[in-house]
Amino acid sequence: MTISAERPTEVDDKGVDPPEFIAQPKLRRHGLLGQHLGTAIVCGFLGYILGHWLGNYVASGYPYIANSGQNSIAVLLALMFMVLGWLIGIGALNYPFAKMLGREAKGEVEYQGWTRYFRYNLDHKVVGIQYVVGVLVFFFTGGLLAMAIRTELLNPTVHVFSADTYIKIVSEHGTIMMMMASSVVVGPLGNYFVPLMIGARRMAYPRIEAFSFWIFSAGYLVIFSALFFGGFPTGWTGYAPLQTQAGPGMISYLFGFAIISIGMMAAGFNLAVTIINYRAPGMTWSRVPIFVWSIIATAALLTLASPVLLAAGLFGILDKTVQTAFYVTEHGGSSYLWENLFWFFGHPEVYILIIPGFGIISHVVSTFSGKPVFGYLAMAYAMVAIGFLGFIVWAHHMFTVGMPLNLQAYFVAATMVIAVPTGVKVFSWIATMWGGSIEFKTPMLFAVGFIFLFTVGGVTGVVLANAGIDYALHDSYYVVAHFHYVLSLGAVFAIFAGFYYWFEKMWGVRYNETLATIHFWLTFVGVNIVFFPQHFLGLQGMPRRSIDYPAAFSYWNRVSSYGYLVALMGLVVFIAVLAEAAIRRRAARANPWGAGATTLEWTLSSPPPFHQFNELPVIHADSH
C-alpha cells in the first residue's frame, strides 16, 4: 500500500473535520475534581433513592400494581432515576442541557493521565479502552455465574443452590453474557480502530460515541441489579407467561434491555456515518479494510434491530407496571408476540457478535500467512449478505410453537441459505493460508482456534435448522453446546485474536509470547472439554436449565465441569499476561508484524497520539 500524508489541494467537505477538532484541545490534568466515575456512582445512588421514594408515593393510591411486597412502579422509577443520575454525574448530558438552556457547550478537552479513562471522553481511542475494561468486567461477572452453574451440575444429587436460586443464576448468566457481550468487538476494537483504519481524525459524532459507552454501562448495572430484586426465573430469553408471572427483578431485565438498545443504536449509527463520510481521500469502497466492512455490516444490524428490542422491553414494562396485556394471553395479548419481537432482534444479535470477529480473523490470517486475503470482494459481500439474511431467519428459534408447515419450510430453507456466505468466509480463510508462509504467533493461534470452533458450531447449527430434528433437540443441551461454540467460543476467540494482534498498538507495551501461548492452549483445551460433551448430553435427552438430572447424565456433566477448571486456569494466565506486560513495560513497536500488516493504523506510533492524523493521509493502493 502506498500512503501519502500530504493534504490534497481539493477535498470534498465530507471527511474533513471542523476547525474546532483540528485545533489543539484544552488540557486538563486534575484527577478528583469535576464529573467522573465517582460522581456518576454518587449521583446514580441518589437518583435510585429519589426514584424509589417517588415510585412508592405515586403508586400509593394504586394497590393493584403491588408485586410480591415491592411495587413495580417504585422499582422502575428507581432504575430510571439511577440511570439519569449516572449520566448526569459522568457528564454525558452536559451538551444537550447546555443547548436546551441556550448556552454554548464546552469544547473538546484532552484529559491527561489515567483519570481520563474514568471520564466522559471524546477521544475514540479512550472510549475503546473504556469498552475493553467494561467488557472484561462483564465477562468476569458472567464467568463467575458460569462457575456457580458448573459447580451445581457437578453432582446430580448434592445441591449447592435451591432450584429457584439456580434458575435465577442461569438467567442472569445468559443475559449478561449475551446482552453485555453485544459490544464485545464493536465497542473495544470498532471504536478504537475504525477511524485509524480509514484515515479519520475522529468519529463522526464523538459525544454520541462516548454516550453509547456510558449508557451501555448503565444498562449493565440495571440488569445486574435484578439480583437485588429477587432475580428473574425466565432464562435469558424472558419468555411469557413466565415474564408476566415473575417478580420485580423482571423490571431490571426489561428496562436493562431498553437501555442497552439505546446504546446499541447510538453506536451503530455513529460507526456507519463515520465509515461512510470520514474515509481518507483515496479510501474507496474497494480499498476499505475487511475489518471496516465487518463493522459497517454490524452497524446496520445494530441500527435496525435494536429498536425492536427497545419496543419489546417497553411493552413488557407496561405489562408489569400499569397492567397492559401485550404479552398476557388471558387478557387478549399473546406470549408469541414477545417471542417474535425478541428473536427478530435476537438472531441479528448473533451476527452483531460474530461478524466483527470475521473481520478480525481475516486480517490476522492474512498477516500471518504473508498473503493478501483471498477473495476480498467475496468476503465483503458475504458479510453484507449475512447481515441481510440474519433478519429473515428469526423463527427457526420457534419451530416448536406450532407454526404452520409451510412457514416451517420457509425458515428451514432461509436458515440453510445463510450457511452459504458463512461457508464462503471459511473457504477464504483456508485459501489465504494455503501455500502461505504461516507464522504461528498468538493472534494466529486464536484465529485458527476460532475457525475450528466456529465451524463446529456452524455444522451443529445446520443440524438444528431442520425443523424435524429441532423438535427432538429443542431446549436440550445440544442447543447449549451449539450456541456456545458459535458465540461464547467463536466471538471470544476472535476478540482474543484481535486483542493480541493490536495489543502493542493499544497499550504501548509488548506482551510475553510464551505466557500468551499458554493462555491459548489452556483456553482452547478447556472450552472444548466444557462444551463438546454437552452435544452428547443433548442427544441423550438432558434438558437445559435443569438443576436435577438422572445419574445417567452424571459422567459427561462431571467432564464438562472439570473442563471449566482448565478454562479458568487459562483466564488466570491471561491476567498474568496483562500484569507482566504492565510491570515489565517493554516499549512497543509501531508495526510489530512487518510487511504483512498494511492497514493505516500501523503507520502510527504505538499508542497513537491524540491527533492521529494532523494531515489527512492519501491512499494510492489497496489495503485489505
Q: What is the pLDDT of residues 100-118, one digit of tens each?
A: 877 776 655 666 677 888 9
Mean local confidence (pLDDT), 445-462: 93
How far is residue 197 from each of residues 202, 279, 597, measured CA to CA in Å?
11, 9, 12
DSSP state of 189: I
pLDDT tens, position by position, 268-278: 999 999 999 99
What phi and psi values does residue 376 have, to the nearest 5 degrees?
Answer: -55, -50
Residue 496 binned pLDDT confidence (cut-offs 50, 70, 90): very high
Whether 311 has a pLDDT exceeding 90, the answer reads yes
Q: Give 472's contacts (C-beta < 8 A, 6+ positions apart).
A: none
How far is residue 15 from each of residues 198, 204, 623, measured CA to CA in Å?
10, 9, 19
What is the per-residue pLDDT for 184?
Answer: 67
Query: Considering the entire predicted model, what is its pTM?
Result: 0.90
CA distance linking residue 48 with residue 51, whole number of Å: 5
- The answer to whether 304 touches 206, Cβ cutoff 8 Å, is no
- The answer to whether 73 touches 250, Cβ cutoff 8 Å, is no
> Which of 72, 89, 79 shows the shortest CA–CA distance to 48?
79
CB atoms within 10 A of CB 621: 10
CA distance linking residue 483 with residue 178, whole number of Å: 11
Mapped onto helix, strand or coil, the DSSP state of residue 230 is: coil
How far is residue 95 from each of residues 98, 99, 105, 213, measured CA to CA in Å?
5, 6, 5, 16
CA distance linking residue 64 with residue 17, whole number of Å: 56
CA distance linking residue 485 with residue 481, whole number of Å: 6
Whether 466 has a pLDDT exceeding 70, the answer reads yes
Chain centre to alpha carbon of residue 405: 35
E strand or H helix that includes residue 296: helix 290-321
Chain centre to alpha carbon of residue 81: 25
Q: Give 61's contacts (C-beta < 8 A, 6+ positions apart).
A: none
CA distance linking residue 173 with residue 77, whole number of Å: 25
CA distance linking residue 513 with residue 444, whole number of Å: 12
What is the per-residue pLDDT for 360?
Answer: 93
CB atoms within 10 A of CB 588: 20
User: What mean pLDDT is reported for the chain?
Assistant: 86
What is the per-residue pLDDT for 227?
Answer: 87
